[in-house]
Homo-oligomer: A and B are copies of this chain.
Amino acid sequence: MSFLIISSQRDPKGWVQALKEKQPDLDLEVYPDVADPSKVEFALSWKHPHGIFKDYPNLKVIASMGAGIDHIIEDPDIPKNIKITRVIDEQLTRDMSVFVLALIMDYIRNLSFHYCSKEWKPTKYLRPEEIQVGIMGMGILGVGVAEKLIRNKFHVTGWSRTKKEILGVTTFHGDNELNNFLSETNVLVCLLPLTSETENILNKQLFEKLPEGAYVINVARGPHLVEEDLLEMIQKGHLSGAALDVFRKEPLPEDHPFWTNDKIRVTPHIASVTNPKTVVPQILDNYRRMQDGKELEKVVDREKEY
Please list the residues of chain A having a beta carbon within 8 angstroms of any beta carbon in chain B: 94-95, 98-99, 101-103, 105-106, 108-112, 114-116, 118, 120-123, 125, 127-128, 151-152, 250-252, 259-260, 265-270
Query: Closest Cβ of chain B: how far from A262's Cβ, in Å?
Result: 10
Query: Closest Cβ of chain B: how far from A121's Cβ, in Å?
Result: 6
Query: Closest Cβ of chain B: how far from A282's Cβ, in Å?
Result: 21
- One complex includes copies of this chain to the number of 2
Query: Closest Cβ of chain B: how far from A90's Cβ, in Å?
Result: 12
Inter-chain contacts of A116 with B (CB < 8 A): 112, 115-116
> Are A127 and B95 in contact, CB atoms less than 8 angstroms apart?
yes
Inter-chain contacts of A101 with B (CB < 8 A): 105, 152
Q: Tell me whether A268 and B120 are in contact in the complex, defined as CB-CB below 8 angstroms, given that A98-B105, A101-B105 are known contacts.
A: yes
* Interface residue from B111, B151, B260 paired with A102 (Cβ < 8 Å): B111
**C-alpha spacing A96/B211, complex, angstroms:** 28
Query: Closest Cβ of chain B: how far from A181's Cβ, in Å?
Result: 26
Inter-chain contacts of A266 with B (CB < 8 A): 114-115, 118
A247 to chain B: closest residue by CB: B120
> Are B270 and A125 in contact, CB atoms less than 8 angstroms apart?
yes
What would be 21 A-B contacts, judged by CB atoms less than 8 Å apart? Answer: A95-B125, A98-B105, A98-B109, A102-B106, A105-B105, A106-B112, A109-B270, A111-B112, A111-B267, A112-B112, A112-B116, A114-B268, A115-B265, A118-B259, A120-B251, A120-B268, A122-B270, A123-B270, A125-B270, A151-B151, A152-B152
Inter-chain contacts of A112 with B (CB < 8 A): 106, 111-112, 115-116
> Are A127 and B94 in contact, CB atoms less than 8 angstroms apart?
yes
> Are B252 and A120 in contact, CB atoms less than 8 angstroms apart?
yes
* Interface residue from B122, B152, B259, B260 paired with A268 (Cβ < 8 Å): B122
> Are A118 and B260 in contact, CB atoms less than 8 angstroms apart?
yes
Inter-chain contacts of A122 with B (CB < 8 A): 268-270
Query: Closest Cβ of chain B: how far from A79's Cβ, in Å?
Result: 35
Query: Closest Cβ of chain B: how far from A261's Cβ, in Å?
Result: 11
* Interface residue from B98, B108, B114 paired with A267 (Cβ < 8 Å): B114
Inter-chain contacts of A114 with B (CB < 8 A): 265-268, 270
Inter-chain contacts of A251 with B (CB < 8 A): 120
Inter-chain contacts of A110 with B (CB < 8 A): 270
A120 to chain B: closest residue by CB: B251
12 extra A-B contacts, CB within 8 A, seeds A98-B105, A102-B102, A120-B252:
A102-B105, A106-B106, A109-B270, A111-B265, A112-B112, A112-B115, A115-B265, A118-B259, A118-B266, A120-B250, A120-B268, A122-B268
